[in-house]
Structure 1
Amino acid sequence: MLLIITEENAGTRLDTVIFENSPKDVTRGSIQTQIKEGEVRVNKKRIMRNAEKVKIGDRIVIHFAEKEPDYVPTAENIPLEILFENDDLLIISKASGMCTHPDNTYKSGTVVNAVMGHLKNHQQEFIDEETIRPGIVHRLDKDTSGCLMIAKNKKTHRYLSKIIAERKVTKKYQALVLGRVPSKKGTIDSPITRDPHNRERMTTLKNAKAKDALTHFECIAQYPQPTATLVDVHIITGRTHQIRVHFSAIGHPVYGDDLYGNPKVNSAYCVQFKTDRMFLHAKSLSFPLENGEIISVESPLPVDLQGILDKMEIDENYEK
């Protein structure tokens, strides 16, 4: 298995990041044994420390003794909404409900499958050894829509990983959150770590494993029924579920978020607006190319999310 480290995993222990991306039948203990026995390579170098911290762009290779992945990504004819494209880079507006890359649950219908179909005759350079995540330098959650960039080759993958690590990529989102956020503008500065009681969740618990996470936000509008605030969000870091975790932590979870939100509130929201998706959209990306040119792309709010706002009565007395 080839694993390429993205921003959300940077700073994690080597054994932990492998375990979190391994088949379900692989134990942490077996991974730690393989590391200690020199069977894991990072950037082609044998690393024998379980606690070694990985960096963005690191290429980790591990071979599982009994069960290799029984699938590789295949090209699929899936339409893509392309925001920008050149010989090295593709930026799309990902649809809600679409996974960024295949995993043990979703082996097809992902962005990777769609991009392979789009590139057609150029797949060889895009396909990267054993990885099921070719070209992926950052990701969006399955139910989050919007701007996503994909590298078409290894050189661009290294460059994009580098500027993400250097925080030269500006990523902005829009979300509808529960309740009235009291501050017009604000910053949520809370480290994020995996929830020790539920591996699917992240949390703002402060411990040695937590990674710094910084979220800026600005309130755009408020609504009395259901009580909600529309926020523009600028994330400085790119931790797993960062926006969802941070807004839940301050008591304003994203509407429709089944993992961090209130079940009763979400149920009423889904019934009222006839939707089954979370109200979170990656609205823009901006970053420099290697030649210094600044690329800025925007993805308008999807029709279904805009339709929800159109049905809500805005608070005319709210002052931005």
Structure 2
Amino acid sequence: MNTEDIQIMPEEGNENLYERKTFSIDKNQEPIRIDKWLQMRLENASRNKIQKGIEAGFLTVNGKIVKSNYKIKPGDELVLLSYTNPEYTEVKAEPIPLDIVYEDDTILVVNKPANMVVHPGVGNYTGTLLNGVKYHLLQQNKNVDEDELPRYGLVHRIDKNTTGLLVLAKTADAAAHLAKQFFHHTVQRKYVALVWGNVEENEGTINAHIARHQQYRKMFAAYPDGETGKHAITHYRVLERFNYVTLVECVLETGRTHQIRVHMKHIGHTLFNDYEYGGDKILKGTIYSKYKQFVENCFEVCNRCALHAKTLGFVHPKTGKALLFNSELPTDMQQLIEKWRNYVQHKNITD
């Protein structure tokens, strides 16, 4: 019986939607077609789907792309990027308007609005961004399906209440190319966030592992000792100070679920109106009625976590050209920032 050393990374809690599986082939392995070998080891994977994935470049052997008829041999090192989603559900096409920033025959860049889930899952089977993307793609190619284009080109995600830029692939080749860029952290991502408190340093780096919260399973937590969770790094820079809150730019070096929200809370600066992590309460300032009313008005203006995925940069999968996209802050965050700016300009600031 063969004994392969199988390592799967990264684990749950990643906003990149592909996982890396590595296989070290046992010294007693007899030659066998690689597509057949994988079919015996991957749950719910058809031979056809595996072959299409190999052709698209989702698999490498000893660092090189191979064909489906390649016969594995002892000592081979296989690396496979496969779609991972614990809430995998059918995607129904829906005519949902998309804010398309850029599109060609290979990729699609969209600007996601607030309160929209990226992909279907438990409790959100319709009305997601991916429902709209499927409809959009079907208008261009009526034969597109998940065998041809895994999960309709989705390679990363952002939270429901986060606005901003997402890139999707329109071909399997492009999906493989983009997935590798996200996995190797070569994609440029900048976020703008409004956080509670006056961030003391003008810039800094947060290096703390992230894993599921041990008590509240829908939340994540920072583990700076590095013994729990997955490696996560966020770089931040102060853009503007309002004494009670601070506008910051965050650059992701890794891409864990809730990374910015967890990391900023970890250093004492919870995102404004982030109800899951306690940002929907007054965390800085007085509790007097006028200030309290002002903050509540701010919560109404931006009734979500104040976080926007502003910048997205990557290498085009087909042309090899470096692309960089920027999106304006959404209206609710613009109004929120302006309210705080006016407030601190017309009030005597006291801690």
TM value normalised by structure 1: 0.75
* Deviation at residue 124 of structure 1 after TM alignment: 5.3
2:267 is equivalent to residue 250 of structure 1: yes
AA in 2 matched with 1:292: G
Greater C-alpha radius of gyration: 2
2:157 is equivalent to residue 139 of structure 1: yes
Aligned positions of 1:1-320 closer than 5 A = 8=16, 40=43, 44=50, 57-59=81-83, 72-122=90-140, 126-129=144-147, 133-205=151-223, 206=225, 208-224=227-243, 227-265=244-282, 269-274=295-300, 275-290=302-317, 291-313=319-341
Alpha-carbon distance in structure 2 between the residues aligned to 1:89 and 1:131? 12
Question: What is the DSSP-based 3-state SS (H/G/I as helix, E as strand, rest coil) of the residue aligned with 2:341?
Answer: coil
* Deviation at residue 292 of structure 1 after TM alignment: 2.4
Alpha-carbon distance in structure 1 between the residues aligned to 2:263 and 2:122? 27
Alpha-carbon distance in structure 2 between the residues aligned to 1:210 and 1:9? 17
Structure 2: unaligned runs, 5 residues or longer:
1-9, 23-39, 52-78, 284-291, 346-351
Is the Cα–Cα contact under 8 Å of residues 155 and 179 in structure 2 kept in the other structure? yes
Alpha-carbon distance in structure 2 between the residues aligned to 1:12 and 1:260? 30
Runs of 4+ in 1 over 6 A off after TM superposition: 9-14
* Deviation at residue 304 of structure 1 after TM alignment: 1.2
% identical aligned pairs:
33
Q: 1:64-95 CA distances to partner (integer Å, 9 max, x unpaired)?
A: xxxx97x6212211111111111010001000
Alpha-carbon distance in structure 2 between the residues aligned to 1:289 and 1:200? 34
Alpha-carbon distance in structure 1 between the residues aligned to 2:338 and 2:275? 23
Distance 1:207 1:195, change over 3 A: farther
Alpha-carbon distance in structure 2 between the residues aligned to 1:56 and 1:210? 22
Tell me which residue corresponds to 1:19.
Answer: none
Is the Cα–Cα contact under 8 Å of residues 18 and 179 in structure 2 kept in the other structure? no
Question: What is the DSSP-based 3-state SS (H/G/I as helix, E as strand, rest coil) of the residue aligned with 1:57?
Answer: strand
AA in 1 matched with 2:330: P
Structure 1: unaligned runs, 5 residues or longer:
15-36, 46-54, 63-67
Q: CA RMSD in A?
A: 3.4
Q: 1:206-244 CA distances to partner (integer Å, 9 max, x unpaired)?
A: 4655111010111011113xx100001110100010000
Distance 1:272 1:168, change over 3 A: closer
Is the Cα–Cα contact under 8 Å of residues 203 and 238 in structure 2 kept in the other structure? yes
